[in-house]
């Protein structure tokens, strides 16, 4: 492809006269002369295309940039070239253009990027590049030592990054590796100019020799967080479209104008498809952009593009897809440097490989600067990277070419074993606990090499010396491309920002229409109740004694209209996390978020106030005057607007549900008490009277009271004298204003309050940051309690490798305290679980019925059989959508809907869900715990609730201690759990706590949903050691697993492999080094042999994919059903039933 492009380039240069491309078809330039017999019909199409190009080229620049040519194949096979306006491409046009550019994305993406790059290179346009340098960079923050249950004082300083230096070059893709807590996220945030305010950053970070204050880092680079924050009500496409619209197109338009000018001068005709794509993606402010379609395609999100993202309360896309949306949200922007933090969590290894491959193509061809941190990169993914930065304890152990990293560690005396992924080896070799096994200088005694020693040795290693040399020579700022660094704060104009946020707000309101319909229904019901309580037939008017009911009716109306705005508080708080993320990434300023909310709530205020007034004004019998009817409507509208803006401001000031609700309740109390009805003005003490005048409710109360009591029917003088009228006397008694003009002053005050609260809302959004203390917990291993507990545990047994039932010794999973050697405090009954011919159906989704699917039920599991036995660790594996979690949920009794067929028995007895729940535990993928208790308290609480009441308190506590020891949580016993991603325990520690919470219920059977998801290799090994310890107590453990490394995969005894569609294709033992599994699949004719050192888990998913099935014309489910393995499985099920 590349040579063809170069040839095309040379040919284009030789035909440089202005008319040259008109006289010769572009296809001849690319492909040589066509077949002489086809020439005439093709020539006609080409001539037509030439004429259209000539017409476009004569247009003024503005119009020329918006016109492109799209090729269409008619039903009769004739090719037509249509001139299109790229700013108004329809869905069909976009689909057609993307199909022609990227038919098979895996093969065509590289060709497409080369075609893009070739176009700019042909006319000598330089692509902007960014080189990032960091020198003597240190980041330190405050930390709590983990033994403090209630940390009140910051009692430690944590060096997250310690004096690191390096260079990240363009067109080289860098992998950032390191064990948990090594400072990967901190380093990425420091490089992206996005460090937390409470961290102290020293040292220098420069982009092309420029410091952060000389440009806008958030717009020049993109930091992709490991936390997925999105609006659940928006679809994937809408999320990316909004992001692309706000981030703008950077300098794409200016570059395209210059490109077009140079091509015109050189007489070069561009490729029509590439031209149309470049023009469509260079137009700022478009609601939907072609760049979105491209990103959806390369991230594999096109299959769920029109599905809602979803959240805790709304079903949406999967966790892995959500992770890709977070990545795509930044890729649609014009950034030239990307810092991606753990973008593969929840993805299987083949999807991760594909995405990293596309990123690599983008980096190499488009000269992008990119650093990606990954948790458990598979060997084939690891090999895609050019450079590696290895970080440990805040220090850089290695930074340089990937090929040389093994040489460096061999130079230090450590060797990567044959069947070990290099990435896993790198993360473990710097750890004190895992280092010794890799020492290979047998003639020298092993000595622990600390991280500081590694870092010092790297500086004297030839790559470290070269890096120091490069850093010594400052970057030549004159080489910086003028378009490389962005100096404008936002990507589009203020008006465009407002339009983008307005259209999104309108969309969110439509998607949340239930809330508004419910509020309208609520106010209608309350109005109906009000008009029946205060019915006009019972409401006499005109005399002093008649006023009490009218006061009640007015106050009740005021409370209802004001309280109906309370929902705004919860809705605003719910929206804040995404707002803070997008504000910090400079998608839009706070006012662009706040103004559309304010404007779009005005019709709602009018409608709700109107419903109340229309239903109650006449039926209650307020003053019979059209003018007073509309004045009361205006007063209620003012009160409702004021209430909405007040609650919005409280939500922005509180920032979390608990704080905002507390503030909101307190404010309401104050506003009510000082509102002039509950306590009259004359009864308020003089030192508190200021509160009366600043209570917004007082002005609403005055406005509606003046409107009613100054009407004609209340104007009778008292006792027929010239004393004030009845109305004025009533107002005076309550301490309200008695002059008509005060009505308009009160309306003005309500509008003023509404303005004030909205301005304060914008100010709070602009200047406040999200609440949540992101302080780290440092494990204090030297604590006396820990030493004691460790001494007692080590007295029971020695470290030994676990022998599993097949007799193969796992070299990687080492168990510190072999629990099977001694009984636990509480006995339990080992149980087996057998299931035979299980089918599971759900009702056919409405979307699929509308697509023409006639079946009434959708089958998710097909004829699944198997047996889980005590002391055997079983892995449940399959590609995304194979039904792993579904099967586990069906077996655990967690599926409340749908239809289950087949038999499930527990040690020979039919499963009864009520009793089964007492003997089973389920560790969910999401680690949900109470954040404000310690680890020990979490376990004790779970034990109190779930153990039988006849278990003594002392026994219960001893059992909790045993479980903590088993799960290796003793060093963290007094650490607060905290909120995920904010503070407290790390992901891996949380995962172990989840397992421990289930273990203290003393279950016989434990289900674990992806226990290693979201963990790096070392953390995953710790969790698997915990799982193995659990199995060795004689329990039955089943785990679903996503992208296991060789070590983790071979720690399992048995495997259940499922394919898409919920069918079993393997159920049996793994064998030593997975040999039984490998032999089974290699026996299938046509299946390629596994490469030496390749991960069996990745290999088996590749060879059993639907693409391979189609290629070999086999059905693996059928092969399994006819195998000896299936018959062995049926025998095991029979054994389990009679056990």
Rounded mean pLDDT of 1119-1131?
90
Q: Which of 237-246, 655-664, 684-693, 1115-1124 has the lowest mean pLDDT?
A: 684-693
Across the chain, mean pLDDT equals: 82
Partners of 204 in the β-ladder:
135
Under a CB-based contact definition with an 8 Å cutoff, are residues 342 and 987 in contact? no
- Residue 727 or 880, more confident: 727
- Please give the helix or strand (H or E) that residue 1131 lies within, else none: helix 1124-1138
The pLDDT of residue 331 is 93
Q: Tell me the pLDDT tens digit for each residue of 457-477.
A: 999 999 999 999 999 999 888
Residue 136 predicted with pLDDT over 70: yes
Rounded mean pLDDT of 875-879?
86
Rounded mean pLDDT of 748-756?
95
Q: Tell me the pLDDT tens digit for each residue of 662-687.
A: 999 999 888 888 887 888 888 888 88
Residue 946 predicted with pLDDT over 70: yes
Per-residue 3-state assignment (H helix, E strand, C coil) for 218-271:
HHHEEEECCCCCCCCCCEHHHHHHHHHHHHCCCCHHHHHHHHHHHHHHHCCCCC
Rounded mean pLDDT of 788-800?
32
N- to C-terminal Cα separation, the chain: 65
Residue 641 predicted with pLDDT over 80: yes
Q: Which two tokens stand for residue 498?
A: 């407002």
- Please give the helix or strand (H or E) that residue 942 lies within, else none: helix 935-946
Please tell me the distance from the alpha carbon of residue 1006 to that of residue 873, in angstroms, as a whole number. 10
- CA distances to 13, 820, 986 from 1011, rounded to whole Å, are 59, 22, 14
Residue 963 predicted with pLDDT over 80: yes
Closest CA to 611 of 554, 528, 671: 528
Per-residue pLDDT band at 78 (split at 50, 70, 90): low
The pLDDT of residue 927 is 82
| H helix and E strand count, the chain | 45, 25
- Domain borders along the chain are 132-249+284-479, 510-583+590-767, 867-1138
Within its chain, how far is the Cα of 855 from the centroid? 34
Please tell me the distance from the alpha carbon of residue 446 to that of residue 132, in angstroms, as a whole number. 38
Please tell me the distance from the alpha carbon of residue 399 to that of residue 169, in angstroms, as a whole number. 12
Which CATH topology does 132-249+284-479 take?
Rossmann fold (3.40.50)
Phi, psi of 679 (to 5 degrees): -120, 120
Within its chain, how far is the Cα of 1021 from the centroid? 25
3-class secondary-structure state, position 1035: coil
The pLDDT of residue 4 is 41
Report the half-sphere exposure of 787 (CA within 13 A, side-chain side): 3
Per-residue 3-state assignment (H helix, E strand, C coil) for 946-962:
HCCCCCCHHHHHHHHHH
Pairing relationship of beta strands 1005-1009 and 1036-1040 according to DSSP bridges: parallel
Residue 862 predicted with pLDDT over 60: yes
Please tell me the distance from the alpha carbon of residue 928 to that of residue 299, in angstroms, as a whole number. 29
Please tell me the distance from the alpha carbon of residue 1061 to that of residue 1050, in angstroms, as a whole number. 26
Per-residue 3-state assignment (H helix, E strand, C coil) for 462-528:
HHHHHHHHHHHCCCCHHHCCCCCCCCCCCCCCHHHHHHHHHHHHHHHHHHCHHHHHHHHHHHHHHHH
Under a CB-based contact definition with an 8 Å cutoff, are residues 571 and 644 in contact? no
Q: Tell me the pLDDT tens digit for each residue of 494-546.
A: 999 999 999 999 999 999 999 999 999 999 999 999 989 888 777 777 778 87
Residue 808 predicted with pLDDT over 80: no
Residue 851 predicted with pLDDT over 60: yes
Q: Which of 128-132, 693-697, 847-851 has the lowest mean pLDDT?
A: 847-851
Under a CB-based contact definition with an 8 Å cutoff, are residues 507 and 234 in contact? yes
The pLDDT of residue 156 is 62
Partners of 140 in the β-ladder:
159, 200
Query: pLDDT above 70 covers what percent of the chain?
Result: 86
Phi-psi label, residue 1133: left if phi above 0, alpha if psi -120 to 50, beta otherwise: alpha
The b/e string for 413-426 (b: 16+ C-beta within 10 A; e otherwise) is ebbbeebbbbbbbb
At a CB cut-off of 8 Å and minimum separation 6, what does 1074 contact? 1049, 1050, 1096
Per-residue 3-state assignment (H helix, E strand, C coil) for 146-161:
CCCCCCCCCCEEEEEE
The pLDDT of residue 1085 is 87
Q: Tell me the Cα Rg of the chain.
A: 35
The b/e string for 446-476 (b: 16+ C-beta within 10 A; e otherwise) is eeebebeebbebbeebebbeebeeebeeebe
Handedness of CA 256, 258, 262, 265 (dihedral sign): positive
Rounded mean pLDDT of 738-764?
95
Closest CA to 835 of 896, 914, 916, 918: 916
Residue 880 predicted with pLDDT over 80: no
Closest CA to 384 of 404, 410, 364: 364
Q: Tell me the pLDDT tens digit for each residue of 33-69.
A: 444 444 455 565 566 667 766 667 777 767 777 777 7
Per-residue pLDDT band at 773 (split at 50, 70, 90): low
Residue 591 predicted with pLDDT over 80: yes
The pLDDT of residue 847 is 62
Strongest mean pLDDT among 190-204, 350-364, 799-813: 350-364
Rounded mean pLDDT of 768-796?
50
The pLDDT of residue 91 is 77
- Residue 70 or 1120, more confident: 1120
Domain 867-1138 has CATH 3.10.180.10: no
Rounded mean pLDDT of 823-841?
83
Q: Which residue has the tokens 């007040």?
A: 646
Same fold, 132-249+284-479 and 867-1138: yes
Query: pLDDT above 90 covers what percent of the chain?
Result: 34
Per-residue pLDDT band at 778 (split at 50, 70, 90): low
Per-residue pLDDT band at 155 (split at 50, 70, 90): low
The pLDDT of residue 466 is 92
- CA distances to 205, 290, 503, 836, 888 from 242, rounded to whole Å, are 31, 13, 9, 49, 38
3-class secondary-structure state, position 841: strand
The b/e string for 315-331 (b: 16+ C-beta within 10 A; e otherwise) is ebbebbbbbbbbbbbbb
Per-residue pLDDT band at 12 (split at 50, 70, 90): very low
Per-residue pLDDT band at 441 (split at 50, 70, 90): confident
Residue 157 predicted with pLDDT over 70: no
Q: Tell me the pLDDT tens digit for each residue of 418-434.
A: 878 888 889 888 888 77
Beta carbons within 10 angstroms of residue 741's beta carbon: 9
Within its chain, how far is the Cα of 382 from the centroid? 23
The pLDDT of residue 1026 is 80
């Amino acid at each position: 492809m590349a040579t063809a492009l170069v040839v095309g380039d040379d040919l284009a240069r030789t035909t440089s006269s202005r008319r040259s491309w008109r006289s010769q078809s572009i296809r001849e330039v690319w492909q040589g002369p066509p077949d002489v017999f086809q020439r005439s019909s093709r020539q006609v199409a080409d001539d037509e295309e030439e004429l259209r190009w000539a017409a476009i080229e004569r247009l003024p620049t503005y119009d020329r940039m918006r016109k492109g040519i799209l090729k269409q194949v008619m039903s009769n096979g004739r090719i037509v070239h249509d001139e299109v306006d790229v700013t108004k491409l329809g869905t069909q046009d976009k689909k057609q253009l993307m199909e022609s550019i990227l038919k098979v994305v895996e093969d065509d993406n590289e060709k497409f990027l080369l075609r893009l790059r070739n176009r700019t290179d042909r006319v000598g346009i330089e692509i902007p590049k960014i080189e990032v340098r960091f020198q003597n960079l240190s980041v330190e923050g405050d930390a709590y030592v983990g033994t403090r249950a209630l940390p009140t004082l910051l009692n430690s300083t944590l060096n997250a990054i310690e004096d690191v230096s390096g260079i990240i070059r363009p067109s080289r893709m860098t992998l950032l590796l390191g064990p948990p807590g090594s400072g990967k996220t901190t380093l990425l945030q420091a490089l992206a100019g996005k460090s937390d305010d409470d961290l102290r950053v020293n040292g220098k970070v420069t982009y092309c020799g420029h410091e952060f204050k000389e440009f806008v880092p958030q717009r020049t680079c993109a930091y992709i967080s490991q936390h997925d924050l999105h609006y659940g009500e928006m679809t994937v496409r809408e999320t990316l479209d909004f992001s692309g619209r706000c981030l703008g197109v950077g300098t794409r338009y200016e570059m395209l104008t210059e490109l077009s000018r140079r091509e015109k001068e050189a007489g070069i005709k561009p490729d029509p498809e590439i031209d149309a794509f470049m023009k469509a993606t260079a137009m700022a402010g478009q609601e939907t952009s072609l760049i979105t379609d491209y990103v959806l395609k390369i991230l594999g999100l096109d299959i769920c593009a029109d599905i809602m993202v979803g959240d805790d309360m709304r079903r949406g896309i999967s966790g892995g897809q959500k992770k890709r949306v977070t990545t795509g949200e930044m890729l649609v922007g014009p950034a030239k440097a990307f810092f991606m933090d753990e973008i593969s969590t929840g993805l299987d290894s083949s999807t991760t490989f594909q995405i990293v491959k596309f990123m690599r193509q983008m980096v190499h061809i488009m000269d992008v600067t990119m650093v990606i941190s990954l948790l458990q990169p598979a060997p084939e993914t690891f090999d895609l990277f050019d450079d590696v930065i290895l970080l440990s304890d805040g220090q850089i152990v290695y930074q340089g070419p990937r090929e040389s990293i093994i040489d460096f560690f061999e130079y230090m005396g450590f060797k990567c074993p044959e069947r070990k992924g290099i990435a896993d080896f790198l993360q473990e070799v710097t750890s004190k606990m895992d280092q010794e096994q890799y020492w290979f200088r047998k003639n020298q005694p092993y000595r622990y090499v600390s991280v500081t020693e590694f870092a010092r040795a790297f500086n004297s290693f030839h790559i470290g010396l070269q890096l120091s040399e490069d850093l010594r020579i400052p970057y030549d700022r004159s080489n910086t491309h003028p378009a490389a660094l962005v100096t404008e704060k936002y990507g589009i104009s203020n008006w465009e920002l407002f339009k983008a946020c307005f259209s999104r707000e309108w969309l969110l309101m439509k998607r949340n229409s239930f809330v508004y319909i419910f509020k309208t229904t609520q106010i209608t019901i309350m109005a109906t109740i009000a008009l029946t309580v205060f019915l006009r037939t019972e409401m006499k008017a005109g005399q002093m004694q008649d006023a009490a009911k009218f006061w009640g009716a007015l106050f009740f109306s005021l409370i209802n209209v004001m309280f109906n705005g309370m929902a705004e508080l919860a809705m605003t708080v719910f929206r804040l996390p995404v707002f803070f993320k997008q504000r910090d990434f400079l998608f839009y300023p706070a006012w662009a978020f706040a103004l559309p909310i304010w404007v779009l709530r005005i019709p709602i205020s009018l409608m709700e106030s109107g419903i109340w007034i229309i239903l109650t004004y006449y039926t209650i019998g307020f003053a019979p005057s059209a003018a007073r009817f509309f004045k009361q409507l205006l007063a209620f509208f003012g009160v409702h607007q004021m209430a909405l803006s007040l609650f919005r401001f409280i939500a922005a000031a509180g920032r979390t549900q608990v704080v905002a609700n507390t503030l909101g309740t307190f404010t309401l109390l104050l506003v009510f008490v000082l509102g002039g009805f509950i306590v009259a003005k004359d009864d308020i003490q003089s030192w508190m009277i200021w509160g009366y005048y600043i209570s917004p409710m007082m002005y609403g109360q005055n406005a509606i009271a003046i409107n009613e009591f100054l009407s004609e029917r209340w104007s009778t003088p008292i006792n027929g004298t010239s004393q004030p009228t009845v109305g004025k006397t009533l107002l005076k008694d309550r301490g309200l204003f008695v002059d008509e003009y005060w009505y308009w002053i009160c309306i003005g005050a309500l509008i003023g309050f509404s303005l004030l609260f909205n301005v304060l809302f914008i100010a709070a959004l602009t200047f406040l940051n999200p609440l949540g203390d992101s302080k780290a917990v440092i494990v204090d291993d030297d604590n006396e309690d820990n030493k004691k507990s460790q001494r007692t545990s080590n007295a029971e047994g020695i470290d030994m490798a676990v022998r599993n039932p097949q007799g193969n010794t796992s070299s990687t999973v080492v168990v510190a305290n072999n629990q099977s050697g001694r009984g636990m405090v509480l006995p339990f009954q080992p149980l087996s679980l057998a299931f035979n011919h299980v089918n599971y159906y759900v009702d056919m989704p409405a979307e699929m019925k509308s697509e023409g699917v006639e079946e009434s039920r959708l089958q998710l599991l097909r004829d699944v059989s198997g047996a889980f036995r005590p002391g055997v660790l079983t892995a449940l594996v399959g590609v995304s959508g194979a039904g792993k979690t579904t099967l586990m949920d069906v077996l655990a009794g967690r599926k409340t809907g749908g239809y289950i067929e087949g038999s499930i028995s527990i040690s020979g007895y039919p499963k009864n869900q009520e009793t089964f729940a007492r003997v089973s535990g389920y560790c969910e993928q999401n680690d949900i715990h109470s954040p404000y208790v310690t680890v020990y308290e979490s376990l004790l609480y779970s034990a109190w609730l779930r153990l039988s009441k006849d278990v003594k308190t002392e026994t219960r506590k001893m059992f909790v201690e045993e479980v903590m020891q088993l799960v290796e949580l003793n060093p963290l016993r007094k650490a607060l759990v905290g909120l995920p991603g904010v503070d407290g325990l790390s992901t891996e520690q949380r995962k172990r706590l989840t397992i421990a919470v289930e273990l203290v219920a003393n279950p016989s059977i434990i289900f674990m949903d992806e226990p290693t998801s979201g963990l790096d290799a070392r953390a995953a090994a710790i969790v698997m050691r915990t799982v193995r310890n659990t199995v060795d107590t004689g329990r039955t453990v089943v785990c679903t697993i996503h992208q296991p490394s060789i070590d983790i995969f071979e720690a399992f005894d048995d495997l259940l492999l499922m394919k898409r569609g919920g069918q079993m294709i393997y159920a049996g033992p793994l064998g030593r080094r997975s040999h039984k599994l490998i032999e089974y699949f290699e026996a299938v004719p046509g299946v390629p042999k596994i490469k030496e050192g390749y991960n069996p888990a990745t290999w088996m998913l590749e060879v059993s994919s639907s693409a391979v099935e189609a290629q070999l014309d086999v059905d693996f489910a059928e092969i399994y059903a006819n195998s000896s393995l299936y018959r062995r499985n049926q025998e095991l099920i029979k054994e389990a039933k009679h056990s």
